[in-house]
Amino acid sequence: MRIREVPFYRLRLNQGEINSVVETLRSGWLTTGKTAHEFEQEFADYVGAKHALAVNSCTAALHLSLLASGIGSEHEVITTPYTFVATTETIIQTGAKVVFVDTERDSFNIDLNQIPAAITERTRAIVPVHIAGLPIDLRKIESLRRKYKLTVIHDGAHALGATNNGKPVGSTADFSCFSFYATKNLTTGEGGMITTNSRRHCDNLRVLSLHGMSRDAWKRYSGRGSWKYQILQLGYKYNLSDINAALGLMQLRRFEQIQKQRRRLAEMYHHYLAEIDELVLPFEPDGTTHAWHLYIVKLRNGGEQRRNEIIEKLRSLGVGTSVHFIPLYLQPYYKKHYHYTRRDLPNSYAHYKSVITLPFYVDLKEDEIKYVAECFKKVFARDSRIVR
Ligand SMILES: *Cc1c(COP(=O)(O)O)cnc(C)c1O
């Protein structure tokens, strides 16, 4: 088969996954019920957390975790600018102020060593993101949490399956948030999960996720519930339906297989791209398990214009790519309300101007990976108009 096109993303569900959704549709119970609860339990077991709450997105998971931590307008929350906007918009929605700390030079993750200098008496929490699936140092963040008495809310949207020093992302304090958006390693179409080791937090999150109501609709509408409920708090409508949970449960039960395949694909990319000197490839440091959510390469000689031209060349050869991430301080909203510049956060800007995210999904074929590598070679070899 001659490859002419490699799309940036492609999803294929298996028959078992499709059947489980159809069974849920036939069961007569569509909203949050026993399938969502089963998904929560198996998910908590998988990441090694005591409790889990299923919600309808990772954005909702982050928002609820911040609210359950008591974060509001008098607080500052430290996070990275090198992330998807859900990480910061939820902080701002609580009324708190976002404080950006730059990434490391050699990884896309927040530089934990720069956090102490950003802490003030208003700092209440840190939201680290495990970019592309590479986990941050969980022991280091734990020592910052203890030393400065801060809440840690992990944005684990990329990091299901990642471990650091033997600990899975999701197993540590205080909260960890996961995404089951269509392109994530485990998907429910739309969906998310919060894990925590605190029963009190989990009970509180559950109440917040369903209108601040004292008992959930599942119990209310099943034979075991009653009509009576109380509104305990100002709540939200963030629960996950059983339709989504049915898909999530099936994906979770073959997640080890999914991750094995993603690891194989990452190794194939390493292999076929190794000889291209212009590219810096992602790696897995000792003591970590990379979750391989994204495969992001860096140009050794980056520059926005050159990078953009290469993306265009690849597109003309049929290869779909993307850029993860545009640092948030470059976005109009953040320029208007915050006043960070690329000079304040140079590492994240240096990453931004050199990165290209490659097609990376379970259904990707070895021939397609070879094709992507060939296209890179063609682009670097033939096009002398691309400024070096
Ligand atoms: C996908 C993503 C989110 C948001 O996930 P949703 O489930 O779509 O709300 C949050 N943070 C990061 C880093 C993401 O990539």
Query: What is the per-residue pLDDT across 219-263, written as a single tens digit (0 to 9) for each?
Result: 665 666 678 889 999 999 999 999 999 999 999 999 999 999 999
Closest ligand 1 atom to residue 293 Cα is: 15
CA-derived radius of gyration, the chain: 22
pLDDT at 383: 58
| Average confidence (pLDDT) over 301-310 | 95
Residue 375: the pLDDT is 97
On the question of pLDDT at 160 being above 80, the answer is yes
- Report the separation in Å between the CA atom of 183 and the middle of ligand 1, taken as the mean of its atom positions: 10
pLDDT given at position 384: 55
Substitution candidate for ligand 1 out of 79, 84, 175, 240 with most atoms within 8 A of CB: 84
Q: Which of 134, 136, 179, 209 to mutate to test the pocket of ligand 1 (most atoms within 8 A of CB)?
A: 179
Look at residue 217 and tell me whether its pLDDT is greater than 60. Answer: no
Tens digits of residue pLDDT in 59-95 = 999 999 999 999 999 999 999 999 999 999 999 999 9
Cα of 79 vs centre of ligand 1, distance in Å, is: 14
Give the active site residue among 167, 184, 219, 353: 184
The share of the chain scoring above pLDDT 70, in percent, equals: 95
- Where does the pLDDT of residue 1 fall: very low under 50, low under 70, confident under 90, or very high at 90 and above? low
Please report which confidence band the pLDDT of residue 306 belongs to, taking 50, 70 and 90 as the band edges: very high
Give the span between the Cα atoms of 46 and 89, in whole angstroms. 29
Query: Given a cut of 70, is residue 385 above it in pLDDT?
Result: no
Q: Could you confirm whether 149 is annotated as catalytic?
A: no
Query: Which atom of ligand 1 approaches the CA of 190 most closely?
Result: 7
pLDDT of residue 302: 87
Instruction: Using the mean position of ligand 1's atoms as its centre, give its distance from the Cα of residue 275 in Å.
Output: 33
Q: Give 323-361 pLDDT, tens digit per residue.
A: 999 999 999 999 999 999 999 999 999 999 999 999 999
Ligand 1 nearest atom to the CA of residue 60, by list position: 9
**Mean model confidence pLDDT for the chain:** 95
Tell me the mean pLDDT in the region 295-301: 97
Pocket residues: Cβ below 6 A from ligand 1: 57-59, 83-84, 86-87, 129, 155, 157-158, 179, 181, 192
- The pLDDT tens digits for 185-211 are 999 999 999 999 999 999 999 999 999
- Domains in the chain (CATH in brackets) are 15-253 (3.40.640.10), 255-382 (3.90.1150.10)
Q: Using CA positions, which residue lies closest to atom 5 of ligand 1?
A: 58
pTM of the model as a whole: 0.97
CA of 59 from ligand 1 middle (Å) equals 6
Contact criterion met (CB below 8 Å) for 360 and 294:
yes
Q: Which of 127, 180, 181, 238 to mutate to test the pocket of ligand 1 (most atoms within 8 A of CB)?
A: 181
How many other CB atoms are there within 10 angstroms of residue 137's CB atom?
Answer: 18
Q: Is the pLDDT of residue 386 over 60?
A: no
267-289 per-position pLDDT tens digit: 999 999 999 999 999 999 999 99
pLDDT on residue 228? 85
Contacts of 261-268 spanning 24+ positions with Cβ under 8 A = 261/362, 262/185, 262/291, 262/292, 262/293, 262/360, 262/362, 263/290, 263/292, 265/292, 265/295, 265/360, 265/362, 265/364, 265/369, 266/290, 266/292, 266/295, 266/360, 268/366, 268/369
Backbone angles phi, psi at 372, to 5 degrees: -60, -45
How remote is the CA of residue 253 from the centroid of ligand 1, in Å? 22
Q: Whose CA is nearest to atom 2 of ligand 1?
A: 157
Tell me what pLDDT residue 44 has. 98
pLDDT higher at 302 or 60: 60
